Amino acid sequence: MSDDTKQKSENVDIQRRQFLLKSTGLLGGVGMLLALTPFIASWFPNRKTQSSAQPIHVDLHALAPGQKMTVMWRGKPIWIVRRTPEMLAALSHHDNLLRDPDSLVQQQPTYAQNKSRSIRPDILVLVGLCTHLGCSPQYKPEVSEVSVDWPGGFYCPCHGSTFDLAGRVFKGVPAPINLEVPPYRFESENVIVIGENEA
């Protein structure tokens, strides 16, 4: 084989190697990108998570005085209680038994930092999770349903924490602070929007 033919053969071999190296690198990069796509996509919230973070509208027409309803917002149970005049009157008789009767710890928006911890006294809106370990307390509105000194409200059977009908925690129980009041506003007389503050 002549030197000229040998040189042409070597040039063809070099070009083939370069083509194979570039093709392999390109295919490897595309493969890596395809392999990383699900991993990177897992960093972003899915549609269900995004929709659960949106404000929700709740119709209160069917909620009778003294009743509680539960809705879900951001994966948390939200309690809505239509309090009776008797329930509201009872809120001022046990401040000395409460850990934070004036709701000084920021567990509520400023518009709910009052005796009833609500925008409208008759409608109570709370996150239904105990502030001790995140259990879901039971609604026990009747006086002395749990103990002699307890005026009724919310009772966590897991560790014995008690809250009044404004979600304020009693002294001497494991829960350290009052139940949380989520952001909410009234859209109309009987429709509230949970997840948005008042203007």
Residues 36-84 have pLDDT tens digits of 777 777 776 666 655 556 899 999 999 999 999 999 999 999 999 999 9
Question: Strand pairing partners for 79?
Answer: 70, 126
- What per-residue confidence (pLDDT) applies to 152? 82
Instruction: Classify residue 189 as exposed, middle or buried by CB count within 10 Å of its CB (0-12, 13-18, 19+).
Output: exposed
**CATH number of this structure's domain 49-194:** 2.102.10.10
Look at residues 141, 168, 166, 163 and name the one whose alpha carbon lies nearest to residue 152.
141
3-state class (DSSP) for residue 50: helix
> Binning pLDDT at 50, 70 and 90, where does residue 146 land?
low
- What per-residue confidence (pLDDT) applies to 48? 63
Q: Contact 153/141 with Cβ under 8 angstroms?
A: yes
pTM confidence score: 0.72
- What per-residue confidence (pLDDT) applies to 38? 76
How many Å is the Cα radius of gyration of the chain? Answer: 31
Residues tagged active-site: 159
- What per-residue confidence (pLDDT) applies to 14? 78
Higher-confidence residue of 52 and 12: namely 12
Q: In this structure, which amino acid lies at residue 9?
A: S
Q: In this structure, which amino acid lies at residue 57?
A: H
**Count of beta carbons in the 10 Å neighbourhood of residue 166:** 29
